[in-house]
Amino acid sequence: MRCACVMLLSALFSLSDGDVGDFTPCSSAFYRGLPPTGIVGTPICQRYQNRYHFATLYSRERRAPWFSAYVFSKPQNKRPRGEWKFEPQLANSKADGNMMPFPVPPAKLDQNVVESQAVQKDYINSTYTRGHLNPSQHHSNTTSRRATFTLTNVVPQKAESNDGPWAMLETNVSKILQEHCQGEAFIVTGMIPYEKERWMKDEGRVAIPEYMWSAYCCQNYSRDLPENLKDIFPTFAAIGRNDPNSTQEIVPVDPQTKKKTKGYDVRLMPLPILEGYLKQRYMVSISVFDQMCSRA
Ligand SMILES: *[C@@H]1O[C@H](CO)[C@@H](O)[C@H](O)[C@H]1NC(C)=O
Ligand SMILES: *[C@@H]1O[C@H](CO)[C@@H](O)[C@H](O)[C@H]1NC(C)=O
Ligand SMILES: *[C@@H]1O[C@H](CO)[C@@H](O)[C@H](O)[C@H]1NC(C)=O
Ligand SMILES: *[C@@H]1O[C@H](CO)[C@@H](O)[C@H](O)[C@H]1NC(C)=O
Ligand SMILES: *[C@@H]1O[C@H](CO)[C@@H](O)[C@H](O)[C@H]1NC(C)=O
């Protein structure tokens, strides 16, 4: 156990990416304009068709995001066909700031892009799906929906979680916010690494999350909330399993669930409980929302 912790610690220390990016242009993606504190990585203001749509803290070493942050809006229309994109500025800081679609073969992707981030090939033939942190279904604007289809917003997620309990969580949160949130709802969704990193296809390129987490903050909500919903405003959170073999401590397995999704449970929890688990694994205090989204 100690060995695993030391390895994670050394991994985290080497993750500091310097000051490549800057969240300033997309600070409106964060509650009170303030990004979560504690996790170190490369900020990406996710720009698509010359507009900022959301914000991502990226880990260059893991070639995957730590978290994405966005403002929820009522979903409309059908889910767009996903055209997967990459972030040119991770390969070259002078490149265009808009995310770009992967070239269609035989056109080749620049090797600097392949080295700087996850690419389509990483997910092909792997046992993991492309799990959105910021899901397309939490947006009304078609362009914003398309903007979520960038691999810098994606972690390796088991299909059983991605199409199962985690999708249910996204649907439930959407319903709750549409029914009871009357102002802006800020959402941050991220991942929790294994104590000792695991990599897709053992290639040492893209690191696999052991858990997914998510939290929302809505300050302006209905006053006449039903009794059973009083505890989930202004803020609430969840952690979801991405590995049926994980221990039961953080998210217990419900033995009753049907075989297909067994071991991919999602546990709902108050924000301070989530932050406790994040602190335990990241070994640093993490604040997701300024002052825990408490009322002013
Ligand atoms: C995926 O697997 C198929 C069949 O084994 C193989 O032909 C193909 O080259 C693989 N693609 C990648 C990107 O690994
Ligand atoms: C999305 O938002 C942009 C900028 O506000 C706007 O120009 C565009 O028309 C919107 N698209 C849809 C489908 O509403
Ligand atoms: C989502 O809501 C359904 C219906 O209320 C409930 O059965 C399910 O446990 C919820 N799942 C999550 C992950 O919130
Ligand atoms: C909360 O939302 C309601 C309905 O949209 C609006 O009338 C009110 O001004 C908002 N209050 C605050 C403090 O944002
Ligand atoms: C869980 O453990 C079993 C048995 O060791 C193994 O076959 C399986 O691949 C593991 N699942 C994951 C998601 O690691």
pLDDT (tens digit, 9 = 90+) per residue, 195-252?
999 999 999 999 999 999 999 999 999 988 888 888 999 999 999 999 999 999 999 9
CA distance 148 to 161: 19
Atom of ligand 5 nearest to the CA of 243: 13
Q: For ligand 3, say whether the CB of 172 is within 6 Å of any of its atoms.
A: yes
CA distance 218 to 294: 10
**8 pLDDT exceeds 80?**
no
Atom of ligand 2 nearest to the CA of 142: 13
Q: Which two tokens stand for residue 113?
A: 């892009």
What is the CB neighbour count within 10 angstroms for residue 61?
17
Residue with the smallest CA separation from ligand 4 atom 9 is 183
Q: Which fold has domain 24-288?
A: Extracellular Endonuclease; Chain A (3.40.570)
Contact 22, 293 (CB under 8 A): no
Atom of ligand 2 nearest to the CA of 51: 4
Across 10-73, where does the E strand assignment appear? 42-48, 51-59, 64-71
What pLDDT score was predicted for residue 110? 96
CA distance 166 to 62: 22
Residue with the smallest CA separation from ligand 1 atom 8 is 125
Q: Which two tokens stand for residue 162?
A: 């991605």
pTM over the 0.85 mark: yes
Q: With CA atoms as reference, report the closest residue to 138 among 98, 100, 187, 86.
A: 187
What is the CB neighbour count within 10 angstroms for residue 123?
18
* pLDDT-based confidence at residue 279 (cuts at 50, 70, 90): very high
Pocket lined around ligand 2, Cβ cut-off 6 Å: 51, 141-143
pLDDT (tens digit, 9 = 90+) per residue, 45-66?
999 999 999 999 999 999 999 9
Q: For ligand 5, say whether the CB of 126 is within 6 Å of any of its atoms.
A: no
Q: Which two tokens stand for residue 171?
A: 């649907």
- Percentage of residues in the chain having pLDDT higher than 70: 92
Q: For ligand 1, say whether the CB of 125 is within 6 Å of any of its atoms.
A: yes
Residue with the smallest CA separation from ligand 4 atom 13 is 220
The number of C-alpha atoms within 13 Å of 95 and in the hemisphere containing its C-beta is 17
Q: For ligand 1, say whether the CB of 124 is within 6 Å of any of its atoms.
A: yes
CA distance 33 to 191: 21
Alpha helices in 14-87 (DSSP H): none
Q: For ligand 4, say whether the CB of 183 is within 6 Å of any of its atoms.
A: yes
Q: Which two tokens stand for residue 198?
A: 């695991």
**16 pLDDT exceeds 70?**
no
Q: Which residue has the tokens 């205090």?
A: 285
pLDDT (tens digit, 9 = 90+) per residue, 105-132?
889 999 999 999 999 999 999 999 999 9
Residue with the smallest CA separation from ligand 2 atom 12 is 141
CA distance 196 to 253: 22
Contact 131, 212 (CB under 8 A): yes
Q: With CA atoms as reference, report the closest residue to 204 among 41, 14, 62.
A: 62
- Percentage of residues in the chain having pLDDT higher than 90: 83
pLDDT (tens digit, 9 = 90+) per residue, 61-114?
999 999 999 999 988 767 777 799 999 999 998 899 999 999 998 899 999 999
What pLDDT score was predicted for residue 205? 98
Residue with the smallest CA separation from ligand 1 atom 1 is 125
What pLDDT score was predicted for residue 190? 98
Q: Which two tokens stand for residue 142?
A: 């078609």
Residue with the smallest CA separation from ligand 3 atom 2 is 172
Mean pLDDT score of the chain: 91
What pLDDT score was predicted for residue 228? 87
Domain residue extents for the chain: 24-288
Q: For ligand 1, say whether the CB of 105 is within 6 Å of any of its atoms.
A: no
Contact 128, 161 (CB under 8 A): no
